[in-house]
Amino acid sequence: MEKEVTIYDIAELLQLSAATVSRALNDHPAINIKTRQRVQSKANELGYRSNTFASNLRKKTTQTLGVIVPRLNSHFMSSVLAGMEVVANKAGYHMLISQSLESAANEKANARTMFNNRVDGLLVSLAYDTESYDHFAGFIKKKVPLLFFDRVTDFMECPGIVIDNYKAGYEATRHLLAQGCQQILHVTGNLRRNVYNDRMEGYKKAIQEAGLSERAVQVIVNDLSAEAGVVLARQIMAMEQKPDGVFVASDICAVNCMRALIDAGYRIPDDVAFVGFNNDHVSQIIDPKLTTVDYPGHQMGELAVSTMINHLTSNQPLGATSSIVLRSQLIVRASSKRLLGAD
């Protein structure tokens, strides 16, 4: 392996002190411009690379935030990460991003990597099947700040940034009821995750307030994937008492279910009305366009990183009291409009 060029090598070649070379490489104003240019030119010529890791160890900071997400191929999560990067870049922080692929085992491995890379803070949206949180204990022990977003837990008394999923589920269901739907099916994800459990509870509350019987509550749990949407369509077609409204906790799953039903001759929203969740791009590609809940992902990402950096730079407390609840918005489109002029 070729030997790494050091500041001492550059100093020897230019007949300068190592301290002068170091300052010149960092554009220190105490070093005149000509000397800075000589040093930087020689460094480029020799292929010098700054040893950021060693420098960070001395400073006891890496200027790096770790981020663990369930999946990167998600419109919502891409929006969150975009918001995070805007704030992180402005503050001079880097982001180390990994995905758990909805696996608790992968999440544990990701957390270990983040810990070993000495990130200054860790931001996490939990995997589908995470039940134990032991893999975050090292961060708490070392007093590395930990913040959850979207899929959160109150188990570790760490701050979280979420939307009011209960209210969003309630309003989505109320909308379908206002369209005359009486048999509303709710399709959701793993109920261990706050986002899905809260949306389901909101759905149940709206059904209860409408005075419908307990038999009107119908819940199907799947992984909310595109494939699950196709399977869902087959389940609906096989039901003896078919739903006249479907509230799905994911646009991807909802759109694929709609396509399969349309191919089978169903009329949407006349035969069955649909509401999705996330305001994904696919919600506007399907015909009819999908009614959905707009999830402020970019804002969530900005707030998550702002909260973390404020703590790191000003020692503001970072505890459960730092949790933030954002507003969502129901966007009504043709997939659920059964009554003219009704929302």
Position 321 scores a pLDDT of 64
Residues of the chain with CATH 3.40.50.2300: 62-163+297-326, 165-295
Residues of the chain with CATH 1.10.260.40: 7-50
CATH 3.90.1150.10 fits 165-295, yes or no: no
Tens digits of residue pLDDT in 217-236:
999 999 999 999 999 999 99
- For domain 62-163+297-326, the CATH superfamily is Response regulator (3.40.50.2300)
DSSP 57-125: HHHT---EEEEEES-SS-HHHHHHHHHHHHHHHHTT-EEEEEE-TT-HHHHHHHHHHHHHTT-SEEEE-
Structure tokens of 164?
């009011």
Kindly report the CATH class assigned to 7-50. Answer: mainly alpha
Instruction: Find the mean pLDDT for residues 118-137.
Output: 94
Give me the phi and psi of 326, to 5 degrees please: -95, 160
Tens digits of residue pLDDT in 194-220:
999 999 999 999 999 999 988 889 999
Kindly report whether the global pTM for this prediction surpasses the value 0.85.
no
Structure tokens of 273?
């009305």
Which band of pLDDT confidence, cut at 50, 70 and 90, is reported for residue 25?
confident
User: Contact, 67 vs 95, CB < 8 A?
Assistant: yes
The whole-chain average pLDDT of the chain stands at 91
